[in-house]
Amino acid sequence: MLSKNLLKKLNKQVSLEFYSSNLYLQMSAWCDHKGLEGAARFLKAHAAEEMQHMQKIFDYIQDTGALAIIDAIEKPIAKFKDLKEVFEITYKHEKMITTQINELVDLSLAEKDFSTFNFLQWYVAEQHEEEKLFKSILDKIDIIGLEGRGLFMIDKEVGSIQLG
């Protein structure tokens, strides 16, 4: 059975994963609007992944016999300076999500809720991959740059990334 505190924090994580999905979908729309088809495709696929992250936690809460609650979801940012800013925001956002997951892990251990601790291990591994992925895109932007053909190359490169 989930403690009141852990349930509250897991429900908060449901909202955060929803927000991640909305943020990436909004970024995808901006990229598409700017003719950046590769980045738009990648971010749209990533938005769908975030919905899976949300659903997994939602289902886990329900499976414990507790009630999953969908809270109001914050409006995502919709306009960006350039593609570098888009990926700087994603990287920062993923680091924040990792912190939240780590806090959940910490709490589940403190409460000796080993079922939830075990459930969260998937998210620990996933966050490692997500941070690595977004950092690698930022590294490519730094190496290639967004000037001239650079933007075209980065967009193509990002669009070729296979998710999942």
- What is the Cα Rg of the chain in Å? 17
CA-nearest of 28, 52, 50, 30 to 41 is 28
Does residue 130 touch ligand FEO according to CB under 6 A?
yes
Q: Looking at beta carbons only, is 55 or 146 nearer to ligand FEO?
A: 55
Judged by CB under 6 A, does residue 155 bind ligand FEO? no
Spatial distance between the Cα atoms of 151 and 5, rounded to a whole number of angstroms: 46
| Of the residues 20, 28, 64, 116, which one makes contact with ligand FEO according to CB under 6 A | 20
Q: Does 120 bind ligand FEO (CB under 6 A)?
A: no
Binding residue (CB under 6 A) for ligand FEO from 40, 50, 113, 116: 50
> Which among 117, 134, 106 has a CA at the least distance from the CA of 46?
134
Q: Is 94 in the site for ligand FEO (CB under 6 A)?
A: yes
Residues 138, 85 contacting (CB under 8 angstroms)? no
41 binds ligand FEO (CB under 6 A): no
Per CB under 6 A, 17 contacts ligand FEO: yes
Cα 72 from Cα 33, distance rounded (Å): 27
- Work out how close the CB of 11 gets to ligand FEO at its nearest, in angstroms, rounded to a whole number: 15
